[in-house]
Chain A
Amino acid sequence: MNIETITLLTVFVPIVGSFTIPLVGLASKSARSAWAIALGAVTAALPLLLIPTALAGGETILRKAFVLGLDFVLIIDPLSIFMAIVSSFVGFLIIIYSIGYIHHEENQNEYYLLVVLFIGSMMGLVFSGNLIFLYLFWEIIAICCWRLIGFYRLKEHVRKADKAFLVTFFGAVVMLLGFIQIYSKTGSFDLTTMRGAVIPGSAVLLILFGMFSKSATVPLHTWLPDAGVAPTTVTALLHAAVLVKIGVYAYARIFLYTFPLPGAWPKVIPIVVVVSSLVAAAAATVETDFKRILAYSTVSQIGYIFLGFSMANEAGITGSLLFILMHGLAKAGLFLCAGIVIHATHKRDIREMGGLIKTMPITGVAFLLCSFSVIGIPPFGGFFSKFLVIMGTVKAGQVGIAAVALFTALLTMFYLLKVFSLVFLGEAKSPAPEGTRSMVSVVGLLAFLSLVAGIFVAYPTKIVQAATTHIMWWLK
């Protein structure tokens, strides 16, 4: 198979395949679950074939011409390949975990359809080289997200799902306006033809609005903690694998690869994101709901990713790209651990839990290890990403911002250790058994991978390095 075919299959196998899931579901439940896992596995495996291309460093552009500048363009370069590998892999693990988590719920056909479609659209978004297709996939994801957040169909849950949908949809429409403004300047939606074009500051504002709403950055973030009413698998999917990484990825694709940031934007963005990071960490310190804490933690960590990208230097970009991987693994682990705990205790307030490490040792240890990675403690993977982002920030001369970022890391340490102590240590207030085998093995694997990704950081760094070199070349 050549590169183009692999990429097209990566995008369309899950998108087309997702609609066959309910059909299989009509026949047999277990066949449907197996089929969903198979689709996830294929989607996760296909981008791996592209690793040699990524390491070689070049880019391949696939173009199917269409009217009105709506060419279907796929960009296959180290950045998109890296992103596809990370998202599809974490997504795949979450599908496996779902088997145990969701098996007694209703509407499972819809659940698996949406999850696989979700991952497929993410693949489409990642490879898209045309702003309009980027927007289309962006909105498909929003729709999947909307149905999934309100999956339990309680009145309150549906309202939260609406909130998430409205905020992100509004952001996306504003972003679309930005795209149209770019079109009026350059006459194209094709990112590959617009490289280096100068765009007005107002377009940047409009587009950033969309990115920040999707990547839940203060002040467009409060829908994300509220979205915690979703099944934990979905929350993990939103936080770790797909949804919130979209904005970050689009930032890298649009503002690093394509357009130079005009005016004062390079100065303003770091301040916005570091404040977002700090405020979210503070909120996580105050909250007592298990999933809301983790959600705020995501908002806080996303700030770091934006920070590294906004520095536009080698250390910052490498750090942010690694961050996407490390945060994906560790945050998925944290959410899935929380899922096991909530599933077993039927409680969400961390003050009502305690002593769970005795009955669920693997979950407890996995939670601690993933926490270390999110805090940024070596030898876990999260260390390298956070360290490089901060080093990049200092290197760009922003010592004050780096100090705030480090303070945020301290807060992260504080609240995550507090959560661990309250939930897993101390007196056992509501003892509960360990989760099912598929659930426990997934969290165990994620914790293990967080550790391995740190010790053997040189391997993911190779792909990241190829992407960074590519970006740095464009930035010059």
Chain B
Amino acid sequence: MTPNTLLWPILLPAIVAVIAFLIPTRVKWFREAICLGASAALIYLAFALFAVKNLEFRLPWMGQGIGFELRLFHFSAFILVGLAGFLFLITLYSTVKMSGHPRIREYYAYVFLTAALANGAVLADNFVPFVFFWEGLLVTLYGLITLGRKEANRTAVKAFIINGLCDFCMILGIGILWAQTGTLTISQISVKPEGLAVVAFLMMMIGAIGKAGAMPFHTWIPDAAIDAPVTFMAFMPAAFEKLLGIYLLARITLDLFKLEKGSGLSLVLMIIGAATIVLAVMMALIQKDFKRLLSYHAVSQVGYMILGIGTAVPIGIVGGLFHMINHAMYKCGLFLSAGSVEYRTGTTELKKLGGLAKVMPFTAAGFTVCALAISGVWPLNGFVSKEMIFHGAIESGYVIFAIAAWVGAIFTFASFLKAGHSVFFGPRSEESPAAVKPIKESPAPIVIPILILALLCITFGVANKLPLTTFIQPILEGHVEAGESIDFTPHALSLFTPIAGISILCLLLAFGLHAFGWKKGGKKAYLASEPVHKFPVLHTIYDWAENRVFDLYEQGVIVLNGLAMVLFKGIDRPIDFVYEKIITKTGEAFAGVLSKAHTGHYANYLAWCLGGLVAIAALINALLK
């Protein structure tokens, strides 16, 4: 394989995007066939590259150390495989779910452009191409969200601006790094986070966790869950953005800066992680819409990854990275099953659904497996990665973060019990569309991706040795002290440890919570979270949250508008006032005085001339001296 091969993961999807855009809307199946074929080819290419592992492509580009540099190594090859896999599943799913969309050309173009840019960002070994690809994702993000409901533009702008803010922070961080190290080649940079480098670290961290959707940069995701197409949710916030954001975070903490256990920065990351877990899951619990509920979990789960990586202990980092790929699989599966429900019933409101397990058995089975996996039930993949993160948190010396993670686990399971109970099990709602027309299972292209993802969740749990040793653990090679083991597979599924015990206790608590709420809500599953929702104090906070008091964007827009008004009224208008009023008035007054001097009297003019002569003589005199 030549270095030029590295261009293909970028060029191939980009070319497919252009082709998909050019094929007229009325042509059926041809576009889908090309996209499906190309994404299958990308999977093959990704695995081929994964087998090669080390490859570099360098081309001079803009001088000053700005080269078009790509580098393939274990970590980037692994992410490429993941991205290609999700692209294929989403494309397959979209062939049915998105068919007949009036802007179908744009949809496939954006999806494949996203893939091209994401692959480029992962492969880039120079910050300029990296930012080029990374920030380019803003365009496709905006485009994909606008494909949803009619009102989706507002959310699209919100997503664009929040992500833009994070990207700009990252650019500042990159600039500082450049000034400090003198190079833009990523693989050559390794600095100690001291002095200004701390600022660089924090700024780049915002770029990474913002892409991954951590708090407080998450607020567009729940909005997008309602406004954007569900395939977008499964594609970007569930899979691609997690892989990219956590990839960058891991690169920052492992390669660019050496994050040390117990350091202040490690603490910052763990606090963000823990806060994201707890706050987002609390919001998820009370949601009344299936997709919105899932979207808050997409935020909450990022917290686990950030917490794991922030511990800066090997088991925590491995757990965080494993959680990244696990989360992408089950959350993608969950969104796709929500999409399957939407496809057949036309709604995702929990109140209107119920008892779908009988008519949609495959979707229900896929959902159940993914929901149990995200809740961390033994022996699924979520259990393995969450246990590792709990271990890491305890090893880092701050038990409080482990407790936060366990609290998150309780409410995660509780909210999925509520969601599953309301949608698939329990009695059928009278408002359900199912009461009007018979509902059947979704077609194969929708069901197959869900089942594949569910199967992967089981495989990655039961046979966790395979993904951990092939994909995850080698990432840490060279980053741990000599002699320290990075093989955590032997005890991954042990049930009889104190930590596993607490986790299981959490699940039982969650079950109790759900049962209590269900009984209290008159055996209506969608009301099961009401006891928590109505809890004193919490209730007020929930109300604020619903009114977007904690929304960075909504508050930020108020600040931006206010600041703009202050600058406009305080600086710009006064300056214009000077031109419009003061200067013109002074000019008129001055001209008035002069015109009055013109009386027409001969003697007056003579006096002016004399005075002028004297002045000129004085000037010449002064100059001659």
Is there an interface contact between B61 and A377, defined as CB atoms closer than 8 Å? no
Interface residue A314 (Cβ < 8 Å from any Cβ of B): yes
Q: Are B175 and A391 in contact (CB under 8 A)?
A: yes
Within 8 A of A (CB), among B475-521: none
A395 to B135, CA, bound (A): 21
Complex CA–CA separation, A458 to B132 (angstroms): 13
From B161, B172, B560, A403 is in contact (CB under 8 Å) with: B172
| Complex CA–CA separation, A287 to B169 (angstroms) | 27
Q: Find out whether the CB atom of B571 lies under 8 angstroms from the CB atom of A279.
A: yes
Supposing A283-B572, A377-B139, A461-B63 touch, asked if A278 and B131 sit within 8 A by C-beta, the answer is no
- In A455-476, the 8 Å CB interface with B consists of 457-458, 461, 465, 468
Cross-chain contact B196 with A414 (CB below 8 angstroms): no
Residues of B within 8 A of A372 (CB): 139
A208 CB to nearest B CB, Å: 17
Question: Which of B61, B64, B566, B579 interacts with A223 by CB under 8 Å?
Answer: B579
Q: Mark B425-447, 1 if CB is under 8 A from A, else 0.
A: 00000000000000000000000
Within the complex, which residue of A282, A379, A410, A421 is in contact with B136, where a contact is CB–CB below 8 Å?
A379
- Known A-B contacts A390-B172, A395-B179; the reply to A413 vs B132 at CB < 8 A is no
Interface string of A271-291 (1 = CB under 8 A from B): 000000011111101110000
Q: With A383-B132, A409-B168, A414-B161 known to touch, is A286 a contact of B568 (CB < 8 Å)? A: yes
Min distance, Cβ B572 to any Cβ of chain A, angstroms: 5
Q: Can you list the 9 inter-chain pairs with the closest CB atoms, starting with the nearest? A: A394-B175, A282-B567, A285-B564, A282-B564, A222-B576, A378-B136, A286-B568, A406-B168, A378-B132
- CB-based contact B175/A402 at 8 Å: yes
**Are A395 and B160 within 8 A (Cβ)?**
no
User: Quick check: A283 and B135 within 8 Å, CB to CB?
Assistant: no
Contact in complex: B62, A387 (CB < 8 Å):
no
Evaluate contact between B160 and A282: CB separation under 8 angstroms.
no
Whether A318 is near chain B, meaning CB under 8 Å from some CB there, is yes
Q: Are A413 and B567 in contact (CB under 8 A)?
A: no
A314 to B575, CA, bound (A): 34
Whether a CB of chain B sits under 8 angstroms from the CB of A38 is: no
Q: Are B572 and A457 in contact (CB-based, < 8 A)?
A: no
* B572 lies within 8 A of A391 (CB): no
Can you list 26 A-B pairs, Cβ within 8 angstroms, ordered by A?
A163-B580, A218-B571, A222-B579, A279-B572, A283-B572, A285-B561, A286-B565, A314-B64, A315-B64, A377-B136, A378-B131, A378-B132, A394-B172, A394-B178, A395-B175, A395-B179, A399-B172, A402-B175, A403-B172, A411-B560, A411-B564, A413-B164, A414-B161, A417-B160, A426-B153, A468-B63
Are A387 and B128 in touch, CB under 8 angstroms? yes
- List B residues 280-336 near A (Cβ within 8 Å): none
* Complex CA–CA separation, A401 to B557 (angstroms): 22
How distant is the Cα of A372 from the Cα of B142 in the complex, in angstroms? 11
Q: Is A219 an interface residue (CB 8 A)?
A: yes
- Of the four ranges (under 10, 10 to 19, 20 to 34, 35 or more), the interface on chain B belongs to 35 or more
CB distance from B546 to the nearest CB of A (A): 24
Most A C-beta atoms less than 10 A away, residue of B128, B176, B571, B572: B572
Least distance between B178 CB and chain A CB atoms (Å): 6
Contacts of A406 in B (CB 8 A): 168-169, 171-172
Complex alpha-carbon distance, A213 and B168, angstroms: 30
In the assembled complex, A384 has its CB within 8 A of some CB on chain B: yes
Binary per-residue interface labels of chain B (374-391) against chain A in the complex, 1 for a CB within 8 Å, 0 otherwise: 000000000000000000
Binding site for A on B (CB under 8 A): 61-64, 128, 131-133, 135-136, 138-139, 153-154, 157, 160-161, 164-165, 168-169, 171-172, 174-176, 178-179, 196, 199, 557, 560-561, 563-568, 571-572, 575-576, 579-580
Q: Is the CB of B133 within 8 A of A378?
A: yes
User: In the bound complex, do residue B62 and residue A458 qualify as a contact, i.e. CB atoms below 8 Å apart?
Assistant: yes
- Which among A218, A406, A409 has the greatest number of chain B C-beta atoms within 10 A? A406
CB contact list, A366-397 vs B, under 8 A: 372, 375, 377-379, 383-384, 387, 390-391, 393-395, 397
CB–CB A222/B575 < 8 A:
yes
> A315 to chain B: which residues have CB within 8 Å?
64
CB distance from A420 to the nearest CB of B (A): 9
Interface of A is mostly: helix
Residues from chain B with a CB closer than 8 A to the CB of A409 are 168
Q: Tell me if A45 counts as interface (CB < 8 A to partner B).
A: no
> A447 CA to B406 CA in the complex, in Å?
52
CB of B168 within 8 A of CB of A417, answer: no
**Interface-centre pick from B174, B176, B561, B567 (highest chain A CB count, 10 A):** B567
Q: How far is the CA of A285 from the CA of B61 in the complex (A)?
A: 36
Q: Are B579 and A167 in contact, CB atoms less than 8 angstroms apart?
A: yes
- Contact of A425 with B by CB under 8 A: yes
Q: Which residue of B lies closest to A372 (CB)?
A: B139
A391 to B62, CA, bound (A): 14
Residues of B near A286 (CB, < 8 A) are 564-565, 568
- A221→B169 CA distance, assembly (Å): 29
Residues of A within 8 A of B63 (CB): 314, 318, 461, 465, 468
Q: Which residues of A contact B179 (CB under 8 A)?
A: 394-395, 397
- B161 contacts A417, CB within 8 Å? yes
Cβ of B571: which chain A residues have Cβ within 8 Å of it?
A: 218, 279
Chain A's closest residue to B576 (CB) is A222
Q: A395 contacts which of B133, B161, B178 (Cβ < 8 Å)?
A: B178
Q: Compute how far the CA of A387 lies from the CA of B136 in the bound complex, rounded to whole angstroms.
A: 13
Taking a contact as CB atoms under 8 Å apart, the answer to whether A318 and B64 are in contact is yes
Given contacts A383-B135, A394-B178, A465-B63, contact A402 B172 (CB under 8 A): yes
Given contacts A279-B568, A395-B178, could you give 16 more A-B pairs where the C-beta distance is less than 8 Å? A218-B571, A218-B572, A279-B571, A281-B564, A282-B563, A282-B572, A318-B63, A377-B135, A378-B132, A391-B174, A395-B175, A402-B172, A407-B168, A417-B157, A425-B153, A465-B63
